[in-house]
Structure 1
Amino acid sequence: MAQDPVQLKYAGEITPETAKSHLSILASAAFEGRGTGEPGGEKAAAYIAEEFEKLGLIGPVNGSHFQPVKLTRTLFDVRDFTIDGKSFANGKDFYFVGSGPETAINANEIVFIGYGISDDKYDDLAGINIEGKVVLVFSEGEPKDAQGNSLITGTDTPSEWVTSRTKRLQNITAKNPKLIIAVSNNIQESLERFGNRLTQPRIALEESGTNPAAATTGTPVANISPEMADLLLARAKTSVAKLTGKIGDTHKPQSKTYKTRLKTIFGAVTEPFTSDNVLGYLEGSDLKDELLVITAHHDHEGNQNGIIFFGADDNGSGTTGVLEIARAFAKAKADGHGPRRSILFMTVTAEEKGLLGSNYYSRHPIFPLENTVVNLNTDMIGRIDDKHLRGNHNYVHTIGSDKLSSELKVINENANATYTHMELDYMYDDPKDPMRIYYRSDQYNFAKHGIPVIFYFSGLHPDYHTPADTVDKINFEMLAKRARLVFHTAWEIANRDKRLVVDSNKE
């Protein structure tokens, strides 16, 4: 296919230099990691709206570029956790996972339930009523014989009680204890590695008529160290080591009620707030009622205990891509080469909290979803991933392009063959992809409504979701090239005679 000189001219608006200019601002310390509902996130939204305004894009939300997304912030607050008179801090010494209203516990006894296993060959919960009780459980491992074989499998292969992330906990919660205290050797490592992510507020879409603080989703779990567990067991003159030793020696459960002293007050506190999607609308000509949506999420992990998660690649790079593509199309229209179909450029909030901003838009679309012909989504397009680090850097992962439309993948491939000449990597299109990447970014909230999508992605790297995801690591040549591919694909879809077909379902 021959290159179109007009298309080529406006693709040239997308450059490494202009991309670096945007990203150096969005991923700067001043934007504090662009946390949802935090000052840095609001600052990012304001910056993007100002850029859309400069480009002459229309604010389609009653004249505004902002679509307020109604969210709730639920903090699981632990006001007290005291063992035998010694106080411990949630997020520093241990961490809680829970929901539901404020609860106070003043316990003089605790039920030890071993590994929390209920199996034909070994049952920690046989004959024990734990309803409404505080229980102590080993959250790792399982009983073994002298040869190191599992008592459940009879071999050195671990049972499902070890390999499943949920089986043990589901077994215990089904019996309705008041509080589960789970002992792990890895508590301090988890606290050091994940910081306040373990205790940060849970953000969700506001659901009218419900109170997330009052909604109980399961028994609260306090994850503690063996040292804290030993303090709980001190009055009974036993310890974690003694109890595991007894189970190992006898090959039998040692479940029993022990005297202790535990005081704790915990519960969920919920407040409503809003955070904005940012929209810039470029009206088309003869096919203006049909719409392309080009997206990226502008939020990241914010400022955690004074440590900024800059989010240069995730997803300052994709946000920069949208700004660059928007400028190219706006310039084309100003010069008399506007698109036939309309284009909505949108950066969404709260992707990191569960694709919430795009979910909200799909529930409250500014333009009818039935008129939306495609969503092209850029999420992390600025780095070289582990797979390509020692090989070809001239690539992009294009995900989902043939799941709903047989034409979309062909259009994208032709645009690449004609203009950008990259390796198109389809590894994440494999239905058996264990990471399920296709479902983990904002395009999925369009795809689930039957709208064809492509997710452009440069892949995972060691700085993903760490404070080290900084501007100096970005490959701006590749960021610009990947954004140009999105531009060329969008140009073709916006200007072709026929609307993109929806003729397949490879979900």
Structure 2
Amino acid sequence: MRHHLLLTAAALLPGVLVAQPVTKDAAAPAAVVPAPDTRLPLKLGPQPTSADITAKDLMTRLYIFADDSMMGREAGTPGNVKGTDYIAREVQRLGLKPAGDDGTYFQTIPMKTRAIDAASTLTVGGASLAFGTEWAANGSGTLAGTDVPVVYGGQVGDTVNAITPEQAAGKFVVFYLPGGVSFRALRTVNRVVPTAAGIALVVPDQLLAVVRRPAAFLDNEQAPNGPAPKPVVYLTMAGAQKLFPNLNAVPPVNTAGSPVTLNVRGLVEPIASPARNVVAILPGSDPKLAGEYVAIGAHNDHVGFNNRPVDHDSIRIFNHIVRPGGAEDAGNRATPEQQADVNKLLAAYRAAHPGTARLDSIYNGADDDGSGSVSVLEIAEKMASRKGAAAPKRSILFIWHVGEEKGLWGSEWFTDHPTVPRDSIVTELNMDMEGRGDPWDETGKTKEGASIHGANNYLQLVGSRRLSTELGDLVESVNKSGKHGLTFDYSLDANGHPMNIYCRSDHYEYARYGIPIVFFTTGGHSDYHQVTDEPQYIDYDHMAKVVNLVDDIAMHVAALDHRPVVDQAKPDPHGRCQQ
């Protein structure tokens, strides 16, 4: 699942995205739920799969797809190419029709990288600021000017003491970026001062190295035409003091600084490894309905790896105690009591598992979204085995989206450039993170902030009635009539929920075009976006229940004598999503 507010530039500012500490939940259980007894191996040899949807098959597939050799499957990397090659080989083996580009199973998205030419310059009073230590930038256009007036614009996110567009016109506006600010507030800066000659943000020194890294983006031709946006400059405090030489305290808004001369040039290059959706079709058996599609999707990418290995076991124990939401709780710091619990549990684990300590740097993404990806493969194998009257009447569109973690790029590209008529897609069923959800996992929080924990038959549903009441009712009835026995949690689907889950996975790119969707997930956990999200921690029996339910729902939708009725308001397909 896409990290909250994870946008292209967000990857450049991890400090900005740090979650605020969560207050202790008064409703949390008094006793700590014991950790599941993990007896699964770190590695598992592949086995043949069968037509039935089984825990064994799901395990076989996930140990392949979330193996270390995939290097975290980040979009635009060799690891993701390897993962999508595996999916394509499987759907070809199953006899599904290719539905990507040029008769292949792949739809390549135009993913590129942008960086700033290291020869770019920023000078004040004839003296150059040091690129990489006093300033850096990101963006793809050009920012140039001689003796441009400088003015202080205030603090990002402060709407009370804000510079006006008139004050900013034609000037280089410097803002202070406080820690913990919502990235959404940062995105508003350009809109607040649209006539500024340029924008700079004063940030902590350590962010400059991150800012300088090439940043991936989707070169979507449907983006508004016009000149490329100007690069944004990032200043350390030492750099800012050269623009404001008498800076001893935060200056008033609209305080003038020393003029700057800029020659900042952005560079854009295609990525070295293709970022690809995998798209395949099982044709429907009913000639009258075969021209319509039930889409079943997941995302094939994750977030790659880092160059700073951590101790796997200690980080897993620490996160479960201190950061039960994983990356959602990245800003939480351990209290002395929590740290004592961590130390005690780690010592007990080490005593029970001698000689197993290991360093880990790969974000395997077993649950996110290896679970969804292999689940869609399992459904494809089950569907392809159905013949004659048992086959689905409508066609089934299987799609593994790339770049979900970058900002829903693959699903955005596919729905803007569909390989089947967009209006022929009657429903999209999205599976993202549905391999966990037991009582040990904090699967999310209610709108009011109370912790939610999983259960043996737990499943979150999001969006199932947001466009089609009929579709949401069908999901409930199939769960009952098919005796799947799953208990649905709609807490994360509440309007205005601060986690905004409805907008954070690929289903929304379909919903924005009025296509009814259901998002199936067992929710979050302390391994979310951590190196500890590995196949050995997945509950495969639970996962098989979810996958069999989704297969059953897809078959029911495929057999309807009408499209699921859209009886709710459709969103603006190019507007901003708000749950």
Q: Which amino acid aligns with 2:493?
A: D
CA distance in 2, matches of 1:69, 1:121: 45
Contact map agreement 2:114 2:139 (CA 8 A) in 1: no
SS at match of 1:376: strand
Change (3 A) 1:395 1:285: same
Q: What is residue 183 of structure 1 aligned with on the other side?
A: 202
Q: Deviations over 1:337-393 (max 9, x none)?
A: 322222121112222233222233223333333332221111121233524774524
Q: Check conservation: 1:32, 1:310, Cα contact below 8 A.
A: yes
Q: Alpha-carbon deviations, 1:93-127, whole Å to 9, x = none?
A: 765343413x45676x873526269999967779x
Alignment partner of 1:409 out of 452, 456, 472? 472
Change in CA separation of 1:118 and 1:255 when aligned onto 2, cut-off 3 Å: farther
State the Cα deviation string for residues 308-362 of structure 1 (Å, max 9, x = none).
Answer: 43222221111011011111112233x8732222212111222223322223322
Q: In the alignment, what sits opposite 2:428? A: 375
Asked whether the equivalents of residues 170 and 197 of structure 2 are also in contact (C-alpha less than 8 Å), the reply is yes
Match of 1:215 in 2: 227
| Residues 95 and 483 of structure 1: CA distance in aligned 2, closer, same or farther (over 3 Å) | farther
- Sort the Cα spacing of 1:396 and 1:187 in 2 relative to 1 into closer, same or farther, 3 A: farther
The structural deviation recorded for 1:422 is 1.5
- Relative to structure 1, the CA distance from residue 375 to residue 440 in structure 2 (aligned partners, 3 Å threshold; closer, same or farther) is same
2:276 alignment counterpart: 276
Q: Measure, in 2, the Cα distance between the counterparts of 1:393 and 1:434.
A: 26
Q: Percent identity?
A: 31
> Which residue in 1 is equivalent to 2:295?
293
Instruction: Return the letter of the residue paired with 1:379.
Output: D
Distance in structure 2 (CA, Å) of the matches to 1:318 and 1:30: 19
Q: 1:339, 1:494 within 8 Å by CA — same for their partners in 2?
A: yes
Q: Secondary structure at the match of 1:294?
A: strand
One-letter code aligned to 1:324: E
Amino acid at match of 1:361: F
Aligned residue in 2 for 1:226: 237
Q: Once superposed, what is the RMSD of the aligned Cα atoms?
A: 4.0
TM-aligned CA distance change 1:391 to 1:58, over 3 Å: closer
The corresponding residue for 1:317 is 371
Aligned counterpart, 1:483:
547
Distance 2:157 2:415 in 1: 43
Match of 2:218 in 1: 204
Secondary structure of 2:189's counterpart equals helix
CA distances 1:447-492 after superposition (whole Å, capped 9, x unpaired): 2333221111222334333433332332222222211110111122
What is the aligned length?
Answer: 451
Distance 1:121 1:505, change over 3 A: closer
What per-residue deviation string (whole Å, max 9, x for no partner) do you get for residues 54-97 of structure 1? Answer: 2122224588442433414141314146775663428xx76534
Q: Is 1:339 the equivalent of 2:392?
A: yes
**What amino acid does structure 2 have at the position aligned with 1:317?**
S
Match of 1:5 in 2: none
Paired residue secondary structure (2:442): coil
Residue of structure 2 in register with 1:139 after alignment: 177
Q: Distance in 2 between matches of 1:168 and 1:349?
A: 27
- CA displacement 1:256-281 (0-9 Å, x = unmatched): 33488x87633242448853221222
1:295–1:378 contact (8 Å) kept in structure 2: yes
Establish whether residue 46 from structure 1 lines up as the match of residue 66 from structure 2.
no
- How has the CA–CA distance of structure 1 residues 89 and 187 changed in structure 2, closer, same or farther, with 3 Å as cutoff? closer
Corresponding residue SS for 1:419: coil
- Taking the aligned partners of 2:101 and 2:122, their CA distance within structure 1 comes to 53
Separation in 1 of the partners of 2:548 and 2:284?
A: 20
The answer to whether 1:14 aligns with 2:28 is: no
Q: Secondary structure at the match of 1:301?
A: coil
Q: 1:105 to 1:462 in 2, by over 3 A?
A: farther
Structure 2: tracts of 5 or more residues without a match: 1-48, 309-360, 445-451, 571-579
**SS of equivalent to 1:113:** strand
2:510 equivalent among 443, 446, 450: 446
Shift of 1:44: 1.3
Q: Counterpart amino acid of 1:182?
A: L
Question: Which residue among 169, 173, 181 is the counterpart of 2:189?
Answer: 169
Residues 132 and 212, structure 2, Cα contact 8 Å, conserved in 1: no
Structure 1: 5+ residue stretches without partners? 1-9, 142-160
The 1:139/1:431 distance shift into structure 2, 3 A limit, reads same
Q: Aligned partners of 2:98 and 2:156: how far apart in 1? A: 57
Residues in 2 aligned to 1:461 and 1:272: alpha-carbon distance in whole angstroms? 32
1:248-305 deviation digits (Å, cap 9, x = unpaired) = xxxx668233488x87633242448853221222222224333211111112223455
Q: How far apart are the structure 1 equivalents of 2:568 and 2:294? A: 20
Relative to structure 1, the CA distance from residue 60 to residue 489 in structure 2 (aligned partners, 3 Å threshold; closer, same or farther) is same
